[in-house]
Amino acid sequence: MTMRKPMVAANWKMNGSDALAKEMLSALASTNLNELDVLICPPATLLHAFANSASCVLGAQNLSEHTAGAYTGELSAALLAAAGARFVLVGHSERRTLFAESDQALAGKMQQAIEHGLTPVYCIGENLQQRQQEKTGQVLAKQLAAVYASHPEFLAKSVIAYEPVWAIGTGEAATPEQAQQAHAAIRQQLAQYDSKAAAEVRVLYGGSVNSKNAAELLSQPDIDGGLVGGASLNAEEFLHICLSAKG
């Protein structure tokens, strides 16, 4: 069996402060979390607060699909890497829905990230209507194919995050069985592109992960950690989730 190092990622979205960054770093430094990777994705203005930390790795929440140029307000992969980021979220459901990011644009962002040494955390997931219509498998397959069908080599350089859109920010997490079923289906789909990488790639669960449900969710065989939203804004709660992933 392939051993995959667990990862717990914090997505602060458009929240946070220098004070919260200091509190989070203090909490992480107080505990031995060597057995897992802790990833913090703060707003771009707070990247500096985590850039030299030994307690976590740093990620950005978004990047441009362009290398450089006249794109006011955008941040390139090179700029993010220079700011200390090693990972970057790509295709979060809020980017797909609120900002209408297309599969084509996301494939471009994946390419930019990998070309500049960033590890993309590629987010996929179905909405409530798609789940009710039993289209979860089709939706996940389409979102994976948008990137890996044309670039199977990207898979070995990625992290995948499964985030059922209907469970994000709603307090409604998928059951451990539902989450495991989706994660297993993702790995099976990925095996069509690169079977070795599919067995080794980390697939995280994101969707109202909190200290109460983390242990049961993160103990599933195909779930390699969590992408945590609201609960990551509380240092004590986030640390509890990290300890759950550590096992």
pLDDT at 119: 98
How much is the average pLDDT of 119-143? 93
What is the Cα Rg of the chain in Å?
A: 17
How much is the average pLDDT of 121-134? 92
Higher pLDDT, 208 or 191: 191
Closest CA to 239 of 20, 29, 82, 22: 29
- CB within 8 A of 83, min separation 6: which ones? 44, 47, 48, 51, 60
In a domain, 2, yes or no: no
pLDDT band at 231 (very low <50, low <70, confident <90, very high): very high
Condensed to tens digits (0 to 9), the pLDDT of residues 153-207 reads 999 999 999 999 888 777 777 889 999 999 999 999 999 999 999 999 999 999 8
Instruction: Name the binding residues for substrate.
Output: 11-13, 169, 208, 229-230
- Tell me, what DSSP letter sits at residue 84? T
12 CB-contact burial (10 Å; exposed 0-12 / middle 13-18 / buried 19+): buried
| C-alpha to C-alpha distance for 188 and 169, rounded to whole angstroms | 28
In a domain, 134, yes or no: yes
- Tell me, what DSSP letter sits at residue 146? H
Whether 183 sits among the annotated catalytic residues: the reply is no
Condensed to tens digits (0 to 9), the pLDDT of residues 96-116 reads 999 999 999 999 999 999 999
Length of the chain counted residue by residue:
247
| C-alpha to C-alpha distance for 233 and 238, rounded to whole angstroms | 7
In a domain, 1, yes or no: no
In a domain, 192, yes or no: yes
pLDDT band at 2 (very low <50, low <70, confident <90, very high): low
pLDDT at 170: 73
In a domain, 225, yes or no: yes
How much is the average pLDDT of 24-48? 96
Which one of the listed residues 65, 94, 126, 163 is annotated catalytic?
163
In a domain, 220, yes or no: yes
Which one of the listed residues 92, 94, 126, 237 is annotated catalytic?
92
pLDDT band at 137 (very low <50, low <70, confident <90, very high): very high
Whether 163 sits among the annotated catalytic residues: the reply is yes
Overall number of domains in the chain? 1
In a domain, 151, yes or no: yes
Q: Write the CATH number for 29.
A: 3.20.20.70
The counts of H helices and E strands in the chain are: 11, 8
Where in the sequence is the domain holding 213, given as residue range(s)?
Answer: 7-111+119-246
| C-alpha to C-alpha distance for 215 and 198, rounded to whole angstroms | 24
Q: What CA dihedral angle connects 11, 13, 17 and 19, to 10 degrees?
A: -20
pLDDT band at 78 (very low <50, low <70, confident <90, very high): very high
In a domain, 49, yes or no: yes
